[in-house]
């Protein structure tokens, strides 16, 4: 197995270990605002780095013949932002939307920090 393969497996193991630790608190696999607000800065950085590492790994493993379009676009979009900016956007979303604490963190990142999954437009008032 080459270095990329070993690094990818190690990354998966670490991600699963983190997710397993969160399982004690939440029945869902996806972390949401409930957990996010309890995380310190180091855990938030680790989460965002983990997502970026998985996307970069998938893109690299896709090679020229296979396309990992979401991962490729995701990594390209986030090249223009710092980890601090991404974390600040997630923090801001949950602070401004306390009724949406069950929204998965990855959904917030995709909607607030990329153009890949823009937020749904706000519902318009009453019918005419």
Q: What is the pLDDT of residues 68-123, one digit of tens each?
A: 667 777 788 788 889 899 999 999 999 999 999 999 898 888 888 877 666 666 65
Q: What does the alpha-carbon distance between residue 24 and residue 48 come to, in Å, rounded to a whole number?
A: 21
Residue 65 lies in a domain: yes
Q: Domain residues for 98?
A: 3-113
The predicted pLDDT at position 67 comes to 54
Q: Compute the distance between CA of residue 53 and CA of residue 38 in angstroms, rounded to an integer.
A: 23
Domain membership flag for residue 61: yes
- Residue 118 is assigned to a structural domain of this protein: no
- Looking at the structure of the chain, the number of domains it has is 1
């Amino acid at each position: 197995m080459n270095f990329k393969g070993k690094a990818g497996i190690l990354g998966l193991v670490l991600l699963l270990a983190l997710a397993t630790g969160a399982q004690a608190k939440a029945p869902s696999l996806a972390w949401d605002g409930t957990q996010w607000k309890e995380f310190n800065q180091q855990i938030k950085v680790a989460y965002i780095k983990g997502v970026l590492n998985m996307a970069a790994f998938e893109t690299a493993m896709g090679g020229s013949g296979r396309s990992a379009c979401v991962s490729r676009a995701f990594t390209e979009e986030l090249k223009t932002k710092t980890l601090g900016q991404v974390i600040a956007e997630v923090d801001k979303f949950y602070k401004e939307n306390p009724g949406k604490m069950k929204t998965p963190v990855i959904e917030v990142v995709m909607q607030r920090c990329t153009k890949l999954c823009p937020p749904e437009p706000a519902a318009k008032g009453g019918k005419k």
